[in-house]
Amino acid sequence: MLPLIISLVIVSIFAFYKYWISIYQTWEKRGIPSVPGKFPHGSSSEMEKRFPGEVINDMYNEMSKYPYFGMYMVRIPWLVIRDPEIIRLVMTKDFNHFRDRFFHKFPEQDKMSQHLFNLPGEQWRALRVKLTPTFTSGKLKGMFPLLLACSEALENCLKSMVGSELNMKLYTTGYTTDTISSCAFGLEPNTINNPDHAIRKLFTFFQKTNLLNKLIIAGEGAFQWLSSFGRRVPIEVEEFLIKLVTDTIEYREKNDIKRNDFMDLLIQLKNKGTIGDGMKEEITEPLDINIDLLAAQTFVFLFAGMETSSSVQNWCLYELALRQDLQQRLREEIDRVLEKHGEVSYQAIQEMDYLHMVISETMRKYPTVPILRRVCTTPFTMPSGDRIERGDHVFIPLFSIHRDPQHYPDPEKFDPERFSPENIGSIKPYTYMPFGEGPRICIGNRFGLMQTKMGIMTVIRNFKVVPCEKTPKTAELMPIMDITMPKKDILIKLVSRD
């Protein structure tokens, strides 16, 4: 009996092994060049040890003679696109073949996952049409006083830190948390000075995911059907946000309060089904605008606006600390423009061209989202004749493209002149996409830029940032897939500009 049991175990293990590695022939069978997959990790065993953008960059360089190539992440075949012209097809020209970011649908019970970034197909399209008017230049001008108040709070906080060595990420995160809280809910949590505030701690759940959910997320790399289980956002975060949105809407409607912020626009969307007066909308399938849906949009607005913008500001101040000549040039522009306008205003920020160049170069060297995902929703034939099937996962290696010397000579050098009026025209389309591109480009990109510019302007106008003994010459990157973050806190020193 024992030999039979042992034999069955051996056969079962071998069968499971063969099943696991069977996926590793996907690209070879189609005649598409690929990085071979090996049990159990796929094309690389380093994804959890190194920054995935750098791991994929090694493959990107290895496969440099191909416009696209296949690879495997655990058991999921991915098509990695290098060629900007094919990226244009996927992101824009033939977008209808690649409308979704994920093959699976997020569980409906995970209410905070039902937001614009995640939604598929017609649901995404219907909501995008509804929300697009939220971030027009006119709406941003209306929110500008809220941003200005938060930038003044940042300035006042940092005045007490002059002479200190700081992890500026803590302060940029506090600033972005306050701006989003103000522009979304009308809250004034002052998290710059109160880092333990509930709204600031709301998103620490990404580091505290329970073991079961971690196993499910890891297992999705092998078995995609597991995506229908588990919860990305803890129930306590969901309940907190739904209550906050519900209470805010009820209070404003009862007291007829208007603040020209994101919540005002969501209230209008809830009550009228549209944003704006008399705006004509593209006809889409009906969309149930309820509190859960509004809370989900607020969730992504909070998380995306807080983390991405604070990360860009942190990288920008780090680079400026290492390059005092660039910092001084930026400071002189800020002084000149503000003297012309007499105050910090929306128009003044728009006229700070070098500030825009500096932030653009920061987002090139440190793209917040290092990989752009798409899923083929209807079969597509490449110009070469290769067939992309429904359900195939596609990604654009943004980190690699932004650091490709063919597109950006001496890519490790921080050089804002790449984005000067004289040089920006030489940047090849679809080689610079910090907010994505095409119909699914980040809907809040204007807000994110404005928030980031206000933060950098506030610091450089009032202080100098300089390196200290603990400031690294080059920063190691954290081994996570979603955001380009330093592996260790980056410390710089804040000194008086006089």
**249 close to 267: Cβ distance less than 8 angstroms:** yes
Nearest to 189 by CA among 207, 205, 173, 208: 173
Q: Say how far residue 37 (Cα) sits from the centre of its chain.
A: 28
Q: Exposed, middle or buried, 211 (CB in 10 Å: 0-12/13-18/19+)?
A: exposed
- 157 in a known ligand binding site: no
The widest CA-to-CA distance across the chain, in whole angstroms, is 91
Peptide bond into 189 cis (omega under 30): no
Q: What are all long-range contacts of 58-66, with beta carbons under 8 Å and residues at least 24 apart? A: 59/35, 60/397, 60/400, 60/404, 61/400, 62/35, 63/33, 63/35, 66/33
Q: Is the separation of the CB atoms in 396 and 87 below 8 Å? A: yes
Note whether 362 and 88 are within 8 A (CB): no
CA distances from 39 to 15, 36, 75, 222, 393 (A): 13, 10, 9, 11, 20
Specify the residue for token string 């506030």.
Answer: 458
Q: How far apart are CA 402 and CA 397, in angstroms?
A: 9
Residue 159: CB atoms within 10 A of its CB come to 12
Torsion of CA 189, 194, 195, 197, to 10 degrees: -50
CB 246 within 8 A of CB 270: no
C-alpha to C-alpha distance for 448 and 481, rounded to whole angstroms:
21
Q: Is the Cβ–Cβ distance between 217 and 211 less than 8 Å?
A: no
| CA separation for the pair 65, 107 (Å, rounded) | 40
- Give CA–CA dist 216/422, Å, rounded: 50
The encoded tokens of residue 226 equal 């597991």
Which stretches of 306-383 are assigned E, i.e. beta strand?
A: 372-375, 380-381
107 and 228 in contact (C-beta within 8 Å)?
A: yes
DSSP 249-294: HHHHHHHT---SSHHHHHHHHHHHSSSSSS------------HHHH
Q: Which two tokens stand for residue 59?
A: 């493959």
Residue list, annotated binding site for heme: 442
Residue list, annotated binding site: 442
